[in-house]
Amino acid sequence: MGMNAEHLIKMANQIGAFFASQPDPAQARTDFALHLRRQWDPQMRRALYAQLDASGGEGLSAFALEALQGLREQVEPQAARA
């Protein structure tokens, strides 16, 4: 899992950096969440959340972490609730 998770985190941070440059932070987070929902397959989203849950978001940018935590239902609607 290690390398795959690192790759997903790197990708999420790169995408996050793009959206974080938008003027409206709330809209930027929403757009980021929708991008992951549309462009990433479910296994990638699940793997990213598994890593986030296991590590507390280690390695994720503040923007990506905030968006992923705050908009989890939009990114991964089927995510099992613990």
d(CA 6, CA 77): 23
Backbone region of residue 77 per phi and psi (left: phi > 0; alpha: psi in -120 to 50; beta: other values) = alpha
> 68: domain range?
2-75
Instruction: Judge whether 81 lies within some domain.
Output: no
Each residue of 27-64: pLDDT tens digit? 999 999 999 999 999 999 999 999 999 999 999 999 99
Select the more confidently predicted residue: 3 or 47. Answer: 47
Instruction: Judge whether 42 lies within some domain.
Output: yes
Number of separate domains in the chain: 1
pTM: 0.88
Each residue of 65-76: pLDDT tens digit? 999 999 999 998
pLDDT at 1: 46
- pLDDT-derived band of residue 80, with 50, 70 and 90 as boundaries? low
pLDDT at 77: 79
User: At residue 3, does pLDDT exceed 90?
Assistant: no
d(CA 70, CA 38): 18
Summarize the confidence of residues 12-18 as an average pLDDT.
98
Instruction: Judge whether 16 lies within some domain.
Output: yes
Instruction: Judge whether 82 lies within some domain.
Output: no
Instruction: Judge whether 28 lies within some domain.
Output: yes
Instruction: Judge whether 63 lies within some domain.
Output: yes
